[in-house]
Structure 1
């Protein structure tokens, strides 16, 4: 399990900055949502948060959490290469997205190749529609499939999900997938827009969960996971 922290992470300067300074943190238990607007900023933020973008200011660090979860001296900072291996980009435009026209089977094969899994068929609850276009999947099903495939990669302990709202549908459906993933001990950052963030903030709080999440060595913090940081 890891905790990833952005401390004033920025790319470029002034009004034309590709990414104004962002400070946020994501860790297992509760997903973090950051809103940013304009052009390629969601992609730039996702690249920065996963250690894949050179910063002009600030920093991004990932700490592997000790088993006791106390944040003591047993935690240690990951080196840049290990940070990149530990964080998977999910559906990031221009970087890690898939064409809606390709088949679901093609997406699965490509993601399995990234995970180093070959010679086997993996069932991932896509209702046997593997010959259908990837774009035929609803937003929540699409996200769940990409998450499960990414988690097959060695060393992945965190996810950065980019602009899930762009595929339409009710945000509450894919937000449930995100929350369930974080509860499994995965650090999750969602990069979205201000309108979607506001919508998520209005959703009712989920019922208390007494399943695996409540027994996690790193339980969810009491603070709200939403609106930890916004960019302009």
Structure 2
């Protein structure tokens, strides 16, 4: 699967939300995109997922404009004010809601088992904003990847939680290893710590995304997770870049 943003710009009522930006990412690849606060991270995430119509430019899925299919194939992870869970909700409720959204059974027992398998039972009834940031990011990424039909993830500024960028970068790479196309949006300081090729918001000439598995990928319509949250084993384990 290939997602291509061609000079995508977004205007809002108060002015420009996103200056024209170009980007290409395919199954098995992860693209890092940086920009200063207010340069349009969430606007790009919504445009790439077919949830916001660009004011200029186009977003193509496998060479065609198809916003409806993009919405089915692309999950936006932890976008502030859009897909980020409410801070006051407890973790178990967030997991149950995300499982239901992903088309899986979401009984209390299923959620309890899912959390126990990840040694997170102690956080089950904690407010979501009290859960350690690295844990909440990991769970949101995994739950988004479990959604039926999802073949791409867009992580919206995981660095805003103050975690080590290498932790969420490793999560992104792991999902690409399993065949998903992954885009991570972040700030320039976080990108600089990772020392990897980085695209920029508001630019047309962008570096190629990082390929972390062979181009072979499962059919677009194959479910990416099972109701119990299990995933196939990664095809390889790759080390994180040293800072």
TM range (shorter): 0.7 to 0.9
C-alpha distance in structure 1 between counterparts of 2:25 and 2:213, whole Å = 18
Match of 1:210 in 2: none
Q: TM-score, normalised by structure 1?
A: 0.76
**Pair 1:96–1:126, CA change in 2 (3 A):** farther
Comparing 181-190 with 129-138, greater Cα deviation is found at 129-138
* Matched-pair contact (CA < 8 Å) for 1:28–1:183: no
C-alpha distance in structure 2 between counterparts of 1:151 and 1:58, whole Å = 28
Task: Please report the RMSD computed on the Cα atoms of aligned residues, expressed in angstroms.
Answer: 2.4
* Matched-pair contact (CA < 8 Å) for 1:140–1:177: no
- 1:66-114 CA-partner distances (Å, limit 9, x unpaired): xxxxxxxxxx647321111100010001110012332110111111121
Where structure 1 has 5 or more consecutive residues not aligned to the other structure, the ranges are 64-75, 204-212, 219-232
Number of residues of Structure 1 aligned to a counterpart in Structure 2: 195
Pair 1:92-2:85 in alignment: no
- 1:20-56 CA-partner distances (Å, limit 9, x unpaired): 0111112222310111223372211111111111112
Match of 1:175 in 2: 169
- Aligned to 1:12, what secondary structure does the other structure show? strand
Pick aligned residue for 2:133 from 116, 139, 157: 139
Match of 2:150 in 1: 156
Q: TM-score, normalised by structure 2?
A: 0.73
**Pair 1:19–1:132, CA change in 2 (3 A):** same
Counterparts in 2 of 1:69-108, with a 5 A limit? 77=64, 79-108=66-95
- Aligned to 1:59, what secondary structure does the other structure show? strand
* Displacement after TM superposition at 1:131 (Å): 1.1
C-alpha distance in structure 1 between counterparts of 2:135 and 2:169, whole Å = 11
Pair 1:26-2:25 in alignment: yes
* Matched-pair contact (CA < 8 Å) for 2:18–2:39: no
* Matched-pair contact (CA < 8 Å) for 1:126–1:141: no
**Pair 1:198–1:184, CA change in 2 (3 A):** same
